[in-house]
Chains A and B, each alone.
Chain A
Amino acid sequence: AQKVTQAQTEISVVEKEDVTLDCVYETRDTTYYLFWYKQPPSGELVFLIRRNSFDEQNEISGRYSWNFQKSTSSFNFTITASQVVDSAVYFCALSARTGANSKLTFGKGITLSVRP
């Protein structure tokens, strides 16, 4: 069975602060994908990143960075110099890497509020 735990439920920061969103996962699959999605108030899911379980290199994309540590089954997401537009719900998700029946399992989401 797969499980994604996002222990933080709500985070509030002031603009320009850095913020890290935590994600811990459980899976019996040896190969899998990890994802982060952003859901702004409009509701539409915005894909942010997919990480293959084979690839533990950290990734940076502009103000966003991701730290994948297989040893602790964590895939944390950091926003540097946060902005008001970053306010949204962020979901971490997991799926098996192969198999037509692989499904996405979502965490409960973290509501991030960035205050001006």
Chain B
Amino acid sequence: GAVVSQHPSWVICKSGTSVKIECRSLDFQATTMFWYRQFPKQSLMLMATSNEGSKATYEQGVEKDKFLINHASLTLSTLTVTSAHPEDSSFYICSARVIQAGTYEQYFGPGTRLTVT
């Protein structure tokens, strides 16, 4: 089956530093990748949508200069949280979408837990 990995699975960083999270589709090429953020006991909120080779589309209220998304290949997207602050501590989940048998299929990564101290 289709597998999406994220690295790291968890990270602790100091306030003011930047953190990069990788999302890879291991056995398929993803036309589109999505980044979600989930605060404790809350739902998944879409942050941005990215297509390979083009700029990401950010949801309203998400700072594009703070959350840098790079989608350099059909199997890799990265999310960089720049100048992280404690309020950025959250669970970040990526998903990769591919067309299979004429239908869009979306697969989720296992998530990355970010703690900013």
Residues of A at the B interface (CB closer than 8 Å) are 42-45, 47, 91, 100-104, 106-109, 111
Mask: chain B, 32-59; 1 = CB below 8 Å from A; 0 = not: 1010000001111010010000000000
Q: Which residues of chain B have C-beta atoms less than 8 A from A102's C-beta? A: 104
Q: How far does the alpha carbon of A43 sit from the alpha carbon of B91 in the complex, in Å?
A: 8
Main secondary structure of the interface of B (DSSP, over half): strand
A sample of 20 inter-chain contacts (CB < 8 A) reads A43-B111, A44-B108, A44-B111, A45-B44, A45-B93, A45-B108, A45-B111, A47-B108, A91-B43, A91-B44, A102-B104, A103-B46, A103-B49, A104-B34, A104-B106, A106-B43, A106-B44, A107-B43, A108-B42, A108-B43
CB proximity of B56 to chain A, nearest CB, Å: 13
* Contact in complex: B49, A101 (CB < 8 Å): yes
Residues of B at the A interface (CB closer than 8 Å) are 31-32, 34, 41-44, 46, 49, 91, 93, 95, 104, 106, 108, 110-111, 113
